[in-house]
Amino acid sequence: MNEHANHTLTVGLGERSYPIEIGHGVLERLPHIIGELSEGGRTAIITDENVNAQHGDVLRAVLDKAGIEHCTLAVAPGEASKSWSVFQQVVEELLSFRLERQDLVIAFGGGVVGDLAGFAASVVRRGMRFVQIPTSLLAQVDSSVGGKTGINSASGKNLVGAFHQPSHVLIDLDFLRSLPAREFRAGYAEVVKYGLIGYSDFFDALCEKHEEIFAFGPMLETAIAQSCQAKAEIVAADETEKNKRALLNLGHTFGHALEGFTSYDGKRLVHGEGVAIGMMLAHQFSNRLNLCSMDDVQRVETHLKAVGLPTRIQDIPGEQPSVETLMSFIEQDKKVSRGRLTFILTKGVGQAYIANDVQAAEVAGFLKDKIGS
C-alpha cells in the first residue's frame, strides 16, 4: 500500500480483477498506474465542464509532470449528457484523437461521466481500458465500481449500455470538499443503501456517526471504504447481475421512475435523491406486504430526514406524477413477466431480498395511496 492510500481493496474477477485505492492525495499515483497499464500510452480525459473547471488543471498537471500525453473532452454536466447524441460525440472525438487500443480513457467526474466514459471505452476499438477517478461521493461509493456503463433512453434510465470493468479505481477524498452540499447528501443515499441491503451494523454506525461524515471526519473515509468493500464483494459474486447483484437496486426501481418523470431535470431531482425516496418507498411497500415492521420504516425515514434527504414523492418540487406515468417507467426498468415485476424488497434493516413475483397491480395501488397522501 502506498503512503497516500489508507485503504486498498480488490474487486476479484480473476484476470480482470482491479484495485480500488482510497485516500487523500492519491491522484499523485496516477502516472504510476498509467505506466503499469499502458507504457508510453496516451490518455483521453473524459469529464464534465464543472469538474474540468474545478479540477481539470490539477489532473493535467499531474500528467504533464510525468510527461504523459493527454487530451480532454468535457461534456455538459448533468444526466442529460447520458444520451445517444452525446455518446456519439464522445466516441467520434475519441477516434479523432487517434487513440489506439492500448491507450487509456480516464473517467474524471461523477456518475454520469463514469457511465458515459465507460460505455464509450467499451466500444471504441472494440474495447479500451479505462481508469475511474470519481469526484462525487455517489460515484466514489457506487457507480465507479463494478463495470456498469451506459446511457439513458426515452424509455427509461440506463437501458442502453455494457458491462465493462475499469482497470483501476482511484478515489481521492480531497475532491469531495468542493462538492455542493446537495450533491454530497445525494451521494450519501448510496452509502445508506449498503447498510439497508445487508449490513445492518453499518447502518447503525451511520445513524450514530453521520455528523462526522458530513464534517469530513475520519468516518467519511471509513464509510467510503466499507461501501466499496460491500460493492466489490457483491460484484465479484455476481458480475452481470444474474442474482445477488440485483440487491444493489434497492430503491432504484422507484427512484429511476421518479427521475424519468422529471425528465432527468437535476434542478428538481438528482439521482441520489431519487434513490432516497425510492428506498423509503421500498420499505413502505414491504411493510404494506407485511414483510417488515413499521419500526424499520420509521428508522429509515428518521435517518434520511436527519441528513436532509427527501423521503416522499411530494418532496419533489413542481408537478406531481401520475400512477400511470410511474408505472410505465417501472415496467421498463424491470421487465414484466405475465404481469409480475422484480423488486428489491426487505424483511427489515439489512435484510433486503429479490422478489420476482410482485404484482404490478399491487405496486400501482401502493403508489396511488402514496401520491394521494
Write out the catalytic residue numbers: 126, 148, 190, 231, 241, 245, 249, 252, 256, 271
Q: How is residue 6 written as a grid cell?
A: 489508507
CA distance 203 to 123: 38
The number of angstroms, rounded, from the C-alpha of 295 to the middle of its chain's C-alpha atoms is: 28
CA of 295: how far to CAs of 109, 133, 251, in Å? 38, 39, 18
CA distance 295 to 21: 37
Select from 72, 65, 25, 68 the least CA-distant residue to 47. 72
Backbone angles phi, psi at 173, to 5 degrees: -65, -20
**Antiparallel, parallel or unpaired: β 352-359 and 129-134:** unpaired
46, β-bridge pairs: 73, 107
Name the amino acid, one letter, at 307: V
The answer to whether the beta carbons of residues 46 and 166 sit under 8 Å apart is: no
Select from 179, 202, 141 the least CA-distant residue to 352. 202
| Helix, strand, coil percentages for the chain (3-state, nearest 5) | 55, 20, 25
Task: Mark 205-227 as b/e (b = at least 16 C-beta within 10 Å).
Answer: bbbebbeebbeeeebbbbbbbbb
* Secondary structure class of 174 (helix, strand, coil): helix
User: If residue 206 lies in a helix (H) or strand (E), which one and from where to where?
Assistant: helix 200-214
CA distance 349 to 169: 29
Number of CB atoms found within 10 A of residue 159's CB: 14
The answer to whether the beta carbons of residues 137 and 112 sit under 8 Å apart is: no
